[in-house]
């Protein structure tokens, strides 16, 4: 009896192996593999990643695309490790979400296509002088840069009597420096005094924000990843001090701001996904693709903070839901 059972099991095993071997090249789909390196968990970056994946799934189908995804948890060094791991896995394309991820990917490979998203200014991020919108390398993508002159106008629109504007940002983020420099120039052209308040990391963030709140009539924060991850720190200092904060994007504004000119990070991710589809289908290369921008900007305000500070929302702005 035992011999019969053993023989039956052996036959079944052979049949199973034969079936697996026979289906190898004919039935298994050779689908593209896309690596995703996201700098940190944050609502804006999360939405960009979701939009990117949704666009590719819509293009190739659920079973027609594979994703290898990891999050650097806000640590720049982790981006390098993640990108190297994706390259070892021989992914067909890398989506790098936020500036540190794009920089890590650009440094790690000159051959695998890299598409960034949630990156403000690619010339600054990649060290390209006189950047014209096309990198000419294996890197392209989408930018989350809203019109900085309009952001300066927003501050004056909400605070017409403002005299001193503090610019708070993380000095480790090159794109943040770029934004505050531009906004400062636009504000100073209006006769407003500006002072930059850079912090190096979260260790000195609270002290710097306190200094900014003491000096400023209003504060501007760009699309800064470190502030986005620590908006509660800014809110805990500025709201009690009755200092309005104006933000470069909706996620930061929801945490500590009064108003923002907001883009949809989900739609930004969708645009990036459509770019990736063209590359994966051989219809285009990253080297020839111009950086794309969010098509629409929506003026939004934080109802709770406006009410607490006694600020009447400006007409044309909608509340952050």
The pLDDT of residue 146: 83
- Range of lowest pLDDT (9-13, 76-80, 163-167, 317-321): 9-13
The pLDDT of residue 29: 56
Are 229 and 201 in contact by the 8 Å Cβ rule? The answer is no
Q: At what angle do helices 43-60 and 265-280 cross, to 10 degrees?
A: 40
pTM of the predicted model as reported, rounded to 2 decimal places: 0.79
The pLDDT of residue 321: 84
The pLDDT of residue 314: 97
Q: Where does the pLDDT of residue 14 fall: very low under 50, low under 70, confident under 90, or very high at 90 and above?
A: very low
The pLDDT of residue 15: 43
Per-residue pLDDT for 28 more than 90?
Answer: no
The pLDDT of residue 16: 45
pLDDT tens-digit profile of 201-241? 999 999 999 999 999 999 999 999 999 999 999 999 999 99
- Between strands 245-247 and 66-71, the pairing is unpaired
Round the average pLDDT of the chain to a whole number and report it.
Answer: 91
Answer left, alpha or beta for residue 272, where phi above 0 means left and psi between -120 and 50 means alpha.
Answer: alpha
31-61: burial string, b at 16+ Cβ within 10 Å, e else: ebebbbbbbbebebbbbbbebbbebbeebbe
CATH-assigned architecture of domain 33-144+264-290:
3-Layer(aba) Sandwich (3.40)
Q: Where does the pLDDT of residue 174 fall: very low under 50, low under 70, confident under 90, or very high at 90 and above?
A: confident
Q: Where does the pLDDT of residue 295 fall: very low under 50, low under 70, confident under 90, or very high at 90 and above?
A: confident
Structure tokens at 296: 């629409």
Q: Where does the pLDDT of residue 30 fall: very low under 50, low under 70, confident under 90, or very high at 90 and above?
A: confident
Per-residue pLDDT for 245 more than 60?
Answer: yes
Percentage of residues of the chain with pLDDT beyond 70 = 91
The mean per-residue pLDDT over the stretch 12-39 comes to 61
Are 303 and 319 in contact by the 8 Å Cβ rule? The answer is yes
148-262+298-319 and 33-144+264-290 share a CATH fold: yes
Neighbours of 189 (CB within 10 A): 10
Per-residue pLDDT for 118 more than 60?
Answer: yes
CATH superfamily of 148-262+298-319: Response regulator (3.40.50.2300)
Task: Report the alpha-carbon distance of residue 234 to residue 37 in Å, rounded.
Answer: 27
- The domain segmentation of the chain, as residue ranges, is 33-144+264-290, 148-262+298-319
The pLDDT of residue 24: 36
The pLDDT of residue 19: 43
């Amino acid at each position: 009896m035992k011999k019969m059972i053993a023989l039956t099991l052996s036959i079944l095993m052979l049949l199973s192996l034969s079936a697996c071997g026979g289906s190898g090249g004919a039935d298994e789909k050779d689908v593209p593999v896309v690596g995703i390196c996201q700098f940190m968990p944050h609502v804006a970056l999360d939405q960009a990643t979701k939009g990117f994946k949704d666009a590719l799934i819509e293009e190739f189908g659920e079973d027609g695309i594979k994703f290898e995804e990891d999050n650097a948890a806000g640590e720049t060094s982790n981006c390098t490790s993640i990108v190297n791991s994706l390259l070892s896995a021989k992914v067909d394309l890398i989506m790098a979400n936020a500036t540190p991820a794009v920089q890590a990917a650009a440094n790690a490979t000159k051959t695998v296509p890299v598409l960034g998203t949630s990156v403000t200014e690619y010339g600054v991020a990649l060290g390209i002088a006189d950047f014209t919108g096309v990198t000419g390398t294996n890197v392209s993508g989408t930018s989350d840069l809203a019109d900085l002159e309009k952001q300066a106008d927003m501050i004056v629109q909400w605070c017409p009597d403002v005299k001193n504007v503090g610019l708070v940002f993380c000095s480790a983020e090159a794109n943040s420096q770029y934004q505050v420099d531009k906004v400062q120039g636009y504000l100073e052209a209006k006769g407003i005094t500006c002072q930059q308040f850079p912090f190096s990391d979260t260790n000195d963030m609270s002290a710097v924000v306190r200094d900014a709140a003491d000096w400023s009539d209003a504060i501007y924060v760009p699309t800064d990843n470190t502030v986005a991850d620590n908006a509660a720190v800014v809110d805990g200092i500025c709201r009690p001090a009755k200092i309005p904060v104006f933000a470069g994007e909706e996620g930061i504004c929801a945490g500590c701001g009064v108003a923002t000119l907001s883009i949809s990070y989900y739609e930004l991710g969708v645009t990036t996904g459509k770019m990736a589809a063209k590359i994966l289908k051989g219809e285009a290369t990253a080297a020839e693709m111009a950086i794309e921008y969010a098509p629409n900007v929506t003026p939004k305000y934080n109802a709770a903070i406006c009410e607490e500070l006694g600020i009447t929302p400006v007409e044309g702005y909608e509340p952050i839901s």
